[in-house]
């Protein structure tokens, strides 16, 4: 699996996601600009010593990147209607999450509206923490793959 974070803003979230990627074998893609430096001490602290075991790549243009991939990709938003559990995940899928402060841009919503999924929640609550949302979706995708470790 491949986790894509669109312009993440909070280094602790990204560090925690690195740790989740290390535990599941997922690759991490960070879409620039980031709201922090990857050398930020909080980022390293949250990721502990897991950074070395995770493949981290950087993307400058997410739409162009997605247009040139042969893999499936899915977007996650509190504003989507279809639950994330309705997806049949494959090992090479890209799971794309928006920034903590702005989500995903309208351009993405307009171009791929049928690719948006949500994590169910109570209506009076705005959204989940990004690191928690990534964990929920990634573990469902990994479960569907039989928790394969290769």
Q: Where are the domains of the chain?
A: 2-144
pLDDT tens digits for the chain (150 residues)? 999 999 999 988 998 999 999 999 999 999 999 988 776 566 566 555 677 789 999 999 999 999 999 999 999 999 999 999 999 999 999 999 999 999 999 999 999 999 999 999 998 988 899 999 999 999 999 999 999 876
Kindly report the CATH number that applies to the domain delimited by 2-144.
3.40.1280.10
Q: How far apart are CA 97 and CA 78, in angstroms?
A: 10
Beta strand extents in the chain (DSSP E only)? 2-6, 27-31, 56-59, 73-76, 94-97, 116-117
What pLDDT is stored for residue 87 in this prediction? 98
The C-alpha atoms of residue 2 and residue 12 are separated, in whole angstroms, by 19
119 contacts 111 by C-beta, under 8 angstroms: no
Q: Which residues contact 150 (CB under 8 A, 6 or more apart)?
A: 25
Torsion of CA 22, 116, 100, 15, to 10 degrees: 0
pTM, entire model: 0.93
| Cα–Cα distance for residue pair 20/89, rounded to 1 Å | 18
Edge-first strand listing for the sheet containing 116-117: 56-59, 27-31, 2-6, 94-97, 73-76, 116-117
Q: Longest C-alpha distance within the chain, in Å?
A: 40
Q: Measured in whole angstroms, how far is the alpha carbon of residue 98 from the centre of its chain?
A: 8
């Amino acid at each position: 699996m491949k986790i894509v974070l669109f312009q993440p803003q909070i280094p602790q979230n990204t560090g925690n996601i690195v740790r989740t990627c290390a535990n599941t074998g997922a690759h991490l893609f960070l879409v620039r600009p980031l709201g922090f430096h990857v050398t930020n001490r909080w980022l390293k602290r949250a990721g502990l010593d897991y950074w070395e075991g995770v493949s981290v790549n950087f993307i400058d243009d997410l739409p162009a990147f997605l247009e040139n991939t042969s893999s499936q990709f899915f977007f996650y938003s509190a504003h989507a209607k279809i639950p994330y559990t309705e997806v049949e995940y494959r090992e090479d899928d890209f799971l794309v999450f928006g920034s903590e402060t702005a989500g995903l841009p309208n351009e993405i919503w307009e171009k791929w509206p049928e690719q948006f999924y949500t994590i169910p929640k109570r209506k009076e609550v705005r959204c989940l923490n990004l690191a928690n949302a990534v964990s929920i979706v990634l573990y469902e995708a990994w479960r569907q793959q039989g928790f394969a470790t290769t």
